[in-house]
Amino acid sequence: MPSDDNGDFAAMTLAASVAMAAVVLAASTVVTAQTSSCVSGQVLTINGRILDIWKGKNATAFTVDARPYAGCRIVSILVTTPPSSCTKGAQISATGKIDEPEGPLDGFEMWKTTTVACRR
């Protein structure tokens, strides 16, 4: 019986692409900062504002756009100050640790997402 390995691979690839796109689209805050150098292990302070809120959830997801970080790959996103309220425009603070000095390999690796509880 012939196998359909190509069909299975295509289906898995499509499912993975849809899942990654959902992570980027579901994120509700874009946080940006800049650095002139890219040192492995360096910790950056990140400040931003909530752009959108997930309805019916007591949590807010936000995305860090790593492109302004001089091509650094950012990991270990840690929220240092949860938003004061779950409203658009609320301030949020975080730190981001640089993993590698090389730039991201693809578009999805430019974004990091984390979830924090909102104070209501």
Mean pLDDT of the residues in the chain: 54
pLDDT per residue as tens digits for the range 52-66: 555 545 555 555 444
Give the pLDDT confidence score for residue 60 in this predicted structure. 53
Q: Which residues of the chain have pLDDT under 50?
A: 1, 11-32, 56, 64-67, 103-113, 120
Residue extents of the structural domains in the chain: 5-117
pLDDT per residue as tens digits for the range 95-113: 776 665 554 443 333 344 4
Three-state SS annotation for the chain: CCCCHHHHHHHHHHHHHHHHHHHHHHCCEEEECCCCCCCCCCEEEEEEEECCCCCCCCEEEEEEECCCCCCCEEEEEEEEECCCCCCCCCEEEEEEEEEECCCCCCHHHHEEEEEEECCC
Give the pLDDT confidence score for residue 18 in this predicted structure. 33
**How far is the C-alpha of 30 from the C-alpha of 51, rounded, in Å?**
7
